[in-house]
A and B are shown apart, each in its own frame.
Chain A
């Protein structure tokens, strides 16, 4: 039994964090959740993660800024952007997320297994 991949999940909405944590755990991931960008960056600095999942629309720091910071700190870390909107500031969310270093992006609502499948692939492909 291989070690369960560790995922850092960042979303300002506690219910979303809980629901996705539950689903990803069911799908074989270890999930550590953070409610804001600052604690997420602290976590990433301290611990090892196989991938990160972050909301794009959060107060304080925008998801795009967080992705950029995460990517700068851990260039090899695959990052999945998630969002309740398909567009941000008139631009396609996927373009924005990829522009700052995200490996993929999903629009809410999505099935947890969709996210799980994506993460599995990213973790397998990451060096």
Chain B
């Protein structure tokens, strides 16, 4: 190639070079300044050619440049020439920029010239600075992260660096841990199990390890950590270590387990609640039905969940329920929500029960849900009814007691006047009969007031240990005679004595009452069962109408298979003057008397009845003596009516009673002498009669009592046996007057069988 061609090519290179090309002479004057230089420095070639190159340098290089050059030329010590270095250029506008300058040396015409190749480093510098800044801030970021322990491990698992979060969480400083194996952060169990090594193995195999577990701080305390380990690779993709990110999530774990525990606790509350808990959505569909609800409604949860809650309501609420919910949703008008009220629930079997329902509203995912708490009111209602009934009976009792008292006054007046009238009409038999009728009627009235007093528990009872087996046995004949032929009587006695503490006379009267009621309930005839047994009662065995204390009782049960009675009648049967019988057929006091008697005897009476099936009345009386421990004063079972042939003197001022006694004793085979009072009786005795037994009333007119008579009669007839009778119990009489020791008394009214037995017993007593 010719020199000319070479020169031309060199010029093209210089002219088109991307890097700046500058040629200076030994003094530093610029000879060539290519277009790239023009672009770099902002000067045109004409402006700089011939000028000293110093103009392209900022201070202090500008001032020192001549020195460099001279120094190099004299000593040969190179600063740049043949070396190349990073220097600073100065643009025409005074601004500076980093540039890489390489300088070559040549000789032209014996003179040294220097060629500088200039590469603008602005961009590279900027990138370098940016990288540096980025790395710095990244370091600061990593180091500054306090919530995460962020550190690297080398391939062996040794800690390579350490950030603030690591120090905060694990308490170790960088000096403490760098170079140590990261297994030190694991607890003993995990270390022994090789957990740290396995984690790194997993990263090698799968590229990641994630886990939660206990980690140990410097002070030995533990925290629950969330750990992520990733591999760290170099540019070639070779793994050079691991990055490990650890977070302390103890708080979150605590909160989570509290939430889980809270949920479990809440579930336990709902599952074990005595009250029903039910949850429905805004459409009324049941989403929860707890075990108490299952018990209350008789449905299993599976039968109800997913169904509309209406199924648990009777009509008309069932039909109205959708309307209620819709109405509430559109108007906010509340029927139950947030209020609670008494409503009626419907069981699976169709029966209904009263319940208190309180409903709360909550939001779940924007939808309303309703939680209902259901409290069964059945037993409270029953208690309320019982209380109301008891209060009513008490009130009626007080009322009737008061009425009885007033009537007794009136009857006293009637009796007194009628008797006085009878006395004054001795001579007028026809008129006297009228006043006698008044006396009889007044006495019947007195019986009624007695029954009222019995109901109001104001009669004087003489409770005695009474064997109900014996009592029923002795009543059998009387009952059979009393009952119609079409009534079949069955008396079922217990195998052992059943001894109640009760007034036997009143108990008999109560049973008789119930038997007659039972007969009336069987107009077409039927079966009548009477039983006596000792029973144990508890709250669950009681019917709704009796307020019984739990315990052992003697139960007397009178059951018919007659017409039965509806609920509204059954509720009222114990009320005085309540009767279903025709006017004149019943006083309406029979069951009231039974009720009063049972209650005053510390017992109870219960009635069970179904229309068409019959009625069962049960009298519960306190047990006197356990049949198993001590037979006690059991009355021996008496033969129906023991009789005899002895002579008996009957002294009784009441003619009705007298004639009854006389015919009774005669029917037993006895010979009977009669006296209306003491004086008559003494006259009989003076007349030479020698009765074997004196049977006398205690309270008699004419001044002498039965006791007095007995004393005088014994004077006439030593060894005479005496049986007293009175409308008053012995104890009441004892309160009023002195009673002879060993006096035998039979209370009026007495049954024929009783009279027969007592008379026979007395006659059979060994002579004094």
Contact = CB atoms under 8 A, between A and B. Distances in A.
A17 to B, nearest CB: 9
Contact of B419 (A18, A23, A103, A107): A23
B732 A111 contact: no
B406 interface: yes
Interface in B380-426: 401, 404-417, 419-420, 423
A122 B697 CA distance: 18
Interface string B700-722: 11111100100000000000000
B768 interface: no
A27 B701 contact: yes
B439 to A, nearest CB: 8
B701 A114 contact: yes
A117 B52 CA distance: 171
B699 interface: yes
Contacts of B699: 114, 117-118
B700 A117 contact: yes
B408 A108 contact: yes
B459 interface: yes
B731 to A, nearest CB: 9
Contact of A19 (B404, B405, B417): B417
A117 B460 CA distance: 23
Nearest to A122: B737
Interface stretch (A32-40, A62-70, A92-100): A92-100
A77 to B, nearest CB: 17
Contacts of A112: 415-416, 419-420
Summarize B's interface: helix, strand, loop or mixed.
helix
A112 B442 CA distance: 13
A16 B409 contact: yes
Contacts of B410: 15
Interface in B445-481: 445-446, 449, 453, 458-460
A35 to B, nearest CB: 14
B735 interface: yes
A85 B452 CA distance: 11
A120 B419 contact: no
A73 B677 CA distance: 36
Contacts, number: 114
Interface in B497-516: none
Contacts of A92: 460, 732
Given A13-B409, A84-B404, A105 B735 contact: yes
A124 B704 CA distance: 11
A103 B419 CA distance: 25
Contacts of A20: 412, 416
B408 A23 contact: no
A94 B735 contact: yes
Q: Which of A94, A110, A117 has its CB near the most chain B CB atoms (within 10 A)? A: A117
A45 to B, nearest CB: 27
A113 B409 contact: no
Given A85-B404, A108-B409, A109-B411, A19 B416 contact: yes
Interface of A: 13, 15-16, 18-20, 22-23, 26-27, 57, 82-87, 92, 94-95, 98, 103-105, 107-114, 116-118, 120-121, 124
20 contacts: A18-B413, A19-B416, A20-B412, A22-B420, A26-B419, A26-B420, A57-B405, A82-B412, A84-B408, A85-B404, A85-B408, A85-B453, A87-B459, A94-B736, A105-B736, A107-B408, A109-B415, A111-B701, A121-B708, A124-B703
Interface of B: 401, 404-417, 419-420, 423, 442, 445-446, 449, 453, 458-460, 653, 699-705, 708, 732, 735-737
Enumerate the 4 nearest inter-chain pairs by beta-carbon distance, A residue then B residue, closest first.
A19-B416, A113-B701, A84-B408, A109-B411
